Amino acid sequence: MKKYIILLLTTSLAYSVSMFAQDHPIKGQILDDSTGQGLPNVSITIPGTDKGSNTDETGHFSMLVPESSLKKQFRISSVGYATQMVALRPDVIIRLKKETKTLDDVIVIGYGAQKKKNITGAVSSFDARKLEERPIARVDQALVGQLAGVTVKQTTGIPGKAFSIQVRGTGSISGGNEPLYVIDGFPLSVNSSNTGNGTFTTGNPLDNINPNDIESIEVLKDAAAAAIYGSRASNGVVLITTKRGQTGKAKISFNVYGGYNQASKKLKMLDGNQWIDRATEMINAAYVLKYGAAGATANDDDATRRTKIGLTGTQINTAYMLDPRWAMPGHPGLAYHDWQDVIERKGQMQNYELSASGGTDAVRYYIAGNYANQDGFVTGVGYKSYSARANVEVNLSKKIKLGLNVAPTYSVTQDPGVEGKDNIFHQALSMTPVQEDTVGNLPNIGKNAQYAWSNTTNAPLGKLLNNIGTTKRFRTLATVFGDVEIIKGLNLRSSVNFDNTDNAASTYVPYITTGTQASRTFTGSNNLLSATSGTYNSYRRQTFVNENTLTYNKVFNKIHSLNVLIGQSYNLDRLDRTQLSSSGGYTSSVIQTLNAAAAVTGNTQSNQSVLLSYFSRLQYGFKDKYLLSASLRSDGSSRFGANNQYGVFPSASLGWRIIEENFMKHITVLSDLKLRVSYGVNGNNNLPNDYASIATLGSAGYVLGATPAAVIGQAPNVLANPSLQWEKSQTWDGGFDFGFLNNRITGSFDYYNKLNTKLLLNVQVPEVTGFQTYLNNIGSVRNIGEELELTTRNMVGKFQWTTTINVSHNTNKIVSLAPGQTQIIVPNGFEVADQILRVGQPLNSIYVVKQIGFLTQDDITKKVATYGSGETVGDPKYLDLNGDGVITEADKQIVGHPNPDYTYGITNTFRYKGFDLNILVQGQSGGSIYSLLGRAITRTGQGFTDNAPEAYTQRWKSPTDQGAGRFSKAYSTFGFVANTDWLYSSDYIRVRDITLGYNLKNIFKTPVINGARIYFTLENFFGHDKYYNGLNPESANTTVSSNSSYPEAGDYGGLPLAKSLIIGLNITF
């Protein structure tokens, strides 16, 4: 307060000194209305003149005002604050209110920007400046729970790995469902063709993009908004705008945070005693089943069992005999382990970010550097990134602007192979919890043997400590652009963009973590290393884009506003891959690179595609009341067949700002109302590869010669389809934007109906063509949904409380497949087909046998349908759907679908004095998981060595003790069938983020520091899901389908999400 008075005094002093000049000096200060802090970079202008000024870091400004302007209104504006018009007087102090009239915000649309109130398409906008207030490692992470219709799935718990994003459901069977990303006007290469296992093997467009550099994110959801991106827009378009400098004094910002992360969820498995209880039961059952005819009983001692089995001396057969130590008090010589605890830890995280921005009338800049280091919560897993960005804009003259954005980044991901089938985390869950106490945490590693009653798994910790999986990625994004104002209102913009990613992934698995102890010889023979293996796979992905646009912007007679865009774009994508792997082991136990491999096999492959586009758009507004937007894009792509090389993608949308109508004037409760309706056609050009339409040749060798020997043969291996083209989507969207009570409540609602047609499917064709099927555009899927976004400012004033809610509902249905085809059972790599594509049903519906309880003696007597011949009392009872008396594949039925019906996110923000509190709750409901992990750890017929969830203590034990009714008896011999046992609801609700911040400006009263904020964040600390035998309902890490045309990714040991506690500091100078 004291300082405030001093400031006031100095300003008045300065004023009085200069009052004799011809131009009147005006000084003052602009403050944030809620915090009372000086606001930097506020622009003060006098409309109609070129006079103006900006505030300094403490919110002060001074300017010379001509006499003639003294009486005029001045415009005070700053991003994020409501613009005010005021009459300036000396030593004025103006308190700016935080922006509430969001409708005046300008948001980025494809090839331009538009006032939100004038937007006629469905666009969700995310103000990414908030990201500074919260520790975020990836851009996709930032979008979780923020936008209606934008589903962000965190499919992995490995830090640094890509999330999966879907806009308005899934409409493609084999063409991928990831949106197009555009960074500062640069459309990045769409890469979702390898979603078969949920990972992005040749990179994700958001890799290495530093979230702190981002100013805003807009998602173009409906066809009309996205259609300007034509053949790539069918899955929505995500526009990312990075920060740029503002005219004014340099603003230096330093952000640092640190903390730790750990597993947010643990799957309780049987502990040592519980496992022994189950193992005893199962071994006894197996023994009695095998030797019961010879009088065996569960109470037989070892000697009796040996006689019955036919063993001598101290021989043991672990299948039918128990470890005597199990029954001894204190189980001497045995150690019990919780393998999840063994491999997990508290991982440290730290992040440093330094940025500077500012500018003069001639040059504006934003430069930033970032270092992040995140150790995963699993030993040996981590992510490091180094990134830098420079965004510079130069005004060569009033009419010519040049700019350069360049962002070099480097990251290193460490993952020795944790997630996925038979990988480390799955093994940690399944590993026998009882082990010999002589080998510590490392049974079956190096010279350590495996416990006789254990499964053969090499200790997961041993693999984490010795196996290596390193991915190093160097990526540079660069854009150079020029903008020329040819005549007033007519601008030519030209840009050249280049994205280069060099990615090298190396793996190394030493022999000490593989095989059995017997196979790991430690004497000096060369073959001791034959089990060692390594790979080195690298790719270079390059995208070159040149775009040239002409825009014309003009308001006629103050009521007709017109914006016309025409443009042209050239886009080249290239991927060069190298794959090397060791063959026949290694010759050194020290060297890990492939020069030490006994032999190396390898190959290189390249592919590239070109997209050539022309586009245009017309936006017209009449009195800002009646709005029209229409666009047309023509895409020519080398990926399409010769007969369909060009696609045309039209769209149109209309808006009616009802609030501007006279009859609305007296409806004071409404502060805004706009009606929107749009229709558009978009494409999805994600063909299975760059050359899918062409008859490529494949190897077809033969044998010839006096001494028969192989000869090379080459013949076409696909049927060319010169008509192959993009998948097509047509979307109707209707919606309205509204504001109530002076915009205390604002929001929007959308309904959409999206029909994807010409789906890429392998269609049967007469074999006179030489082939049974070929890739054709056929089949269709419809997505229908509703979205609501709502922001309410519940409390204003000193204590501020704002709530932002988004809810989306989506349903999809297959409308048609190939002619005469009603269903496709997704071929399954695990011999238990569990998904179906059936006309009239949701995409990838879960298709399994229904379990309806446990078999009773009565059932057995009545010969109810069983699976196979080995089912007995206490085994599961399945629904014999077709009533043929046996359980077969034919008894499968649709029991769920993977996509959630509802997704939602709720953010509550509170501000009081210097404190701010932000809480983000996010969740989904209505979907199902068919879990391979469930199959791995809870299947019938599972051996006793593999561990099972703790819930198995409540298994069926006898007709009178049926446990919790969830699990059948432990020992069964009939194998397993894909059934509802492993079906889980994917519903979850999660408190993603709680951040409490405090403004330290109240403490640091030095003028050097312009702003300082300290915060504490709890990420993923609270939540609930129904994935009872898995860790993360959104996990995807394993290829389920055996046919890449029908990608199905499953969870086979995905890590839980990390929960983290972080302390951070933002300081601006």
Binding site for another protein (CB under 8 A): 397, 399-400, 482, 484, 486, 492, 494, 546, 548, 568, 570, 572, 604-610, 612, 614, 636-638, 642, 645, 690-691, 694-716, 719-722, 764-772, 774, 776, 819-820
Find out whether 1033 and 63 touch, Cβ atoms under 8 Å.
no
Choose between 178 and 635: whose C-beta lies nearer to another protein: 635
- Of 129, 159, 144, 157, nearest in space to 351 by CA: 159
| Type of residue at 100 | T
Taking CA atoms, 770 is separated from 695, 717, 969, in Å, by 12, 9, 52
- Stated length of the chain: 1069
Q: Quote the least distance from Cβ 566 to another protein, whole Å.
A: 10
Choose between 442 and 775: whose C-beta lies nearer to another protein: 775
Burial string for 39-73 (b: 16+ CB within 10 Å, else e) reads bbbbbbbbeeeebebbbbbbbbbbbebeeebeebe
Choose between 190 and 279: whose C-beta lies nearer to another protein: 190
Q: Quote the least distance from Cβ 541 to another protein, whole Å.
A: 14
Neighbours of 330 (CB within 10 A): 7
Residue whose structure tokens are 């440290």:
348
Q: Which residues touch 194 (CB under 8 Å, ≥6 apart)?
A: 200, 201, 202
Choose between 327 and 710: whose C-beta lies nearer to another protein: 710
Helix (H/G/I), strand (E/B), else coil: 760: strand
Residues 141 and 23: their CA atoms lie apart, in Å, by 52
Choose between 526 and 608: whose C-beta lies nearer to another protein: 608
Choose between 301 and 767: whose C-beta lies nearer to another protein: 767
Q: Quote the least distance from Cβ 936 to another protein, whole Å.
A: 26
- Of 934, 983, 978, nearest in space to 828 by CA: 978
Torsion (CA) 111, 568, 190, 777 in degrees, nearest 10: 120
Residues 498 and 479: their CA atoms lie apart, in Å, by 6
Residues 498 and 573: their CA atoms lie apart, in Å, by 10
Q: Quote the least distance from Cβ 640 to another protein, whole Å.
A: 8
Torsion (CA) 698, 704, 709, 712 in degrees, nearest 10: -20
Choose between 667 and 700: whose C-beta lies nearer to another protein: 700
Taking CA atoms, 743 is separated from 101, 672, 691, 808, in Å, by 7, 7, 52, 22
Choose between 612 and 919: whose C-beta lies nearer to another protein: 612
Residues 236 and 221: their CA atoms lie apart, in Å, by 5
Q: Quote the least distance from Cβ 701 to another protein, whole Å.
A: 6
Helix (H/G/I), strand (E/B), else coil: 132: helix
Taking CA atoms, 487 is separated from 399, 400, 497, 890, in Å, by 9, 11, 26, 72
List, as one string, the DSSP characters of 273-329. HHHHHHHHHHHHHHHHHHHGGGT--TT--HHHHHHHHT--TT---TTT---GGGGST
Q: Give me the helices (H) in 375-474, please.
A: 424-430, 460-466
Find out whether 367 and 356 touch, Cβ atoms under 8 Å.
yes
Q: DSSP secondary-structure letter at 145?
A: T
Choose between 494 and 893: whose C-beta lies nearer to another protein: 494
Choose between 595 and 608: whose C-beta lies nearer to another protein: 608
Query: What values do phi and psi take at 261, rounded to 5?
Result: -130, 150
- Burial group, residue 1008, by CB count within 10 angstroms (0-12, 13-18, 19+): exposed
Q: Quote the least distance from Cβ 580 to another protein, whole Å.
A: 16
Find out whether 904 and 924 touch, Cβ atoms under 8 Å.
yes
Q: Is the dihedral of CA 971, 972, 978, 981 positive or negative?
A: negative
SS (H, E, C) 817-883: CCCCCCEEECCECCCCCCEEEECCCCCCEEEEECEEEECCHHHHHCCCCECCCCCCCCCEEECCCCC
Choose between 498 and 1016: whose C-beta lies nearer to another protein: 498
Find out whether 942 and 875 touch, Cβ atoms under 8 Å.
no
Q: Quote the least distance from Cβ 1046 to another protein, whole Å.
A: 19
Choose between 553 and 645: whose C-beta lies nearer to another protein: 645
Choose between 774 and 1027: whose C-beta lies nearer to another protein: 774
Taking CA atoms, 226 is separated from 111, 492, 940, in Å, by 11, 22, 49
Q: Quote the least distance from Cβ 586 to another protein, whole Å.
A: 22
Choose between 700 and 890: whose C-beta lies nearer to another protein: 700
Choose between 518 and 768: whose C-beta lies nearer to another protein: 768
Q: Quote the least distance from Cβ 575 to another protein, whole Å.
A: 10
Q: Quote the least distance from Cβ 866 to another protein, whole Å.
A: 18
Choose between 318 and 764: whose C-beta lies nearer to another protein: 764
Choose between 636 and 853: whose C-beta lies nearer to another protein: 636
Q: Quote the least distance from Cβ 695 to another protein, whole Å.
A: 5
Q: Quote the least distance from Cβ 726 to another protein, whole Å.
A: 14
Q: Quote the least distance from Cβ 316 to another protein, whole Å.
A: 24
Helix (H/G/I), strand (E/B), else coil: 127: strand
Q: Quote the least distance from Cβ 727 to another protein, whole Å.
A: 18
N-term to C-term CA, the chain: 21
Choose between 105 and 485: whose C-beta lies nearer to another protein: 485
Residues 619 and 615: their CA atoms lie apart, in Å, by 14
Q: Which residues touch 735 (CB under 8 Å, ≥6 apart)?
A: 122, 675, 676, 677, 748, 749, 750, 751, 787
